[in-house]
Amino acid sequence: MGLRAGFLGTTMLGALLLAGTALPAWAQTTFRVAVGDAAGSAQAELGQAFAKELEERTNGEYKAELFLNGQLGDEQATVNDISMGLLDMSIVAINNITPFSPTVGLLTLPYVIRSVDDAEKLTQGEIGQELIDNTVRDAGARIIGWTYTGCRVLTNSKKPVKTLDDLKGLVIRVPKNEIMISSYNAWGINPTPMAWSETFTALQQGVVDGQDNPYLTVNAMKFYEVQKYITDICYVFSIEPLIVSESIFQGLDPKVQEEVLAAGKAATQHSAQFLRDSEASIKESLVKEHGMEIDEPADDEKAWIDAATQKVWPEHYDSIGGKEKLDAALKVLGRSS
Ligand code: MLT
């Protein structure tokens, strides 16, 4: 049986590895899966679907246990742990992988992916496979499933935002991601980069006024308790891969690897369906049950799109592997740059 972290805590595993001690077989039955978001989130849905599939496919020999709400550390830290083989699996917003493997930034360039159809086309074809290979190479992390969480919308506690002028004066939290920071710079403000695990409290205490995330996340994380206004900017589509530590994956029997990949694929399909089935009703309940107000960006969002794409795309051609990578993605999506 191959090497897996299983039930072993990070400290104990580290000690065993340092001592060169072989891991006992009893420690190798359950994968620990870090999940940044709460129960009911798109991340949790994907994780549960994966766990169910894996258990069924391996007749209960292999299981996956989810640790929700960032119990195993903030999302970016879990990517680091995965890289080092200290954690089995994690489900993270893709913007947390970009610092480790910059080419996945292609999926967070503003106004490239605008729907779940677009997200499926880019992640499930040749482009997705290349990004998986790059992430294995750069970060020691293998993407085995994709959570499709929806377009990121802007929320804030202060005022309706429709124009770029309306943004002025607001303190907006963004992930620690250069592409997203640069998008807000293009719109004329300096956002506040902050770990996901700190975001709710920062919104609650008024350290920041707003943030962006998909409707599903706004709902699952109960942001409606601390945010009032939504602007449907849909500038980035939130993709949150399930990653496995490559060293742990390579330690598995090839047959088990196949089942892990198949379970990830089935969970990905479940995620797309979950989004398609639930986004509209969640959006409606944010307004009707939780009193949020949703606005569209003014003038068909042209000013938002032009400012972000003209500044951010060229800035990141090098990090995504060249302009041709973006051109190829746009071609797959049936658009031109
Ligand atoms: C972020 O904004 O950091 C992520 O999108 C949060 C998440 O994992 O849902």
Give pLDDT tens digits for 237-262.
Answer: 999 999 999 999 999 999 999 999 99
Check residue 323 and give its pLDDT: 97
Check residue 29 and give its pLDDT: 78
Pick the CATH number of 3-102+114-149+239-279 from 3.40.190.170, 1.10.357.10, 3.90.1580.10, 3.40.50.300: 3.40.190.170
Tell me how far the alpha carbon of residue 240 lies from the centroid of ligand 1, in angstroms: 8
DSSP, res 290: T
Counting residues of the chain whose pLDDT is more than 70, the rounded percentage is: 91
Give pLDDT tens digits for 4-29.
Answer: 433 334 334 444 433 444 444 554 57
**Best of 104, 172, 238 for a ligand 1 pocket test (most atoms within 8 Å of beta carbon):** 238
Provide the token pair at 223.
């942001």
**Best of 173, 196, 219 for a ligand 1 pocket test (most atoms within 8 Å of beta carbon):** 196
Q: Locate the ligand 1 atom nearest the alpha carbon of residue 152 and give its number.
A: 5
Check residue 26 and give its pLDDT: 52
What's domain 153-236+281-328's architecture? 3-Layer(aba) Sandwich (3.40)
Asked if pLDDT for residue 3 goes beyond 70, the answer is no
Asked if pLDDT for residue 307 goes beyond 80, the answer is yes
Tell me how far the alpha carbon of residue 271 lies from the centroid of ligand 1, in angstroms: 16
Boundaries of every domain in the chain: 3-102+114-149+239-279, 153-236+281-328
Cα angle at 142 between 134 and 236, to 5 degrees? 70
CB 164 within 8 A of CB 188: yes
Question: What band does 2 get if pLDDT is binned at 50, 70 and 90?
Answer: very low
Check residue 11 and give its pLDDT: 39
Report the alpha-carbon distance of residue 337 to residue 326 in Å, rounded: 8
Q: What are phi and psi of 335, to 5 degrees?
A: -125, 170
CA proximity to 190, closest of 177, 171, 204:
171
Check residue 336 and give its pLDDT: 78
Check residue 28 and give its pLDDT: 54
Give the per-residue SS3 of 185-215.
HHCCCCCEECCHHHHHHHHHCCCCCEEEEEH
Q: Locate the ligand 1 atom nearest the alpha carbon of residue 96 and give its number.
A: 3
Give pLDDT tens digits for 81-134.
Answer: 999 999 999 999 999 999 999 999 999 999 999 999 999 999 999 999 999 999
Pocket of ligand 1 (CB under 6 A): 36-37, 75, 93, 175, 196, 213, 217, 238, 240
Residue nearest to atom 5 of ligand 1 (CA): 93
Tell me how far the alpha carbon of residue 214 lies from the centroid of ligand 1, in angstroms: 9
Give pLDDT tens digits for 169-197.
Answer: 999 999 999 999 999 999 999 999 999 99
Tell me how far the alpha carbon of residue 326 lies from the centroid of ligand 1, in angstroms: 23
SS3 219: helix
Domains 3-102+114-149+239-279 and 153-236+281-328 share a fold: yes
SS3 2: coil
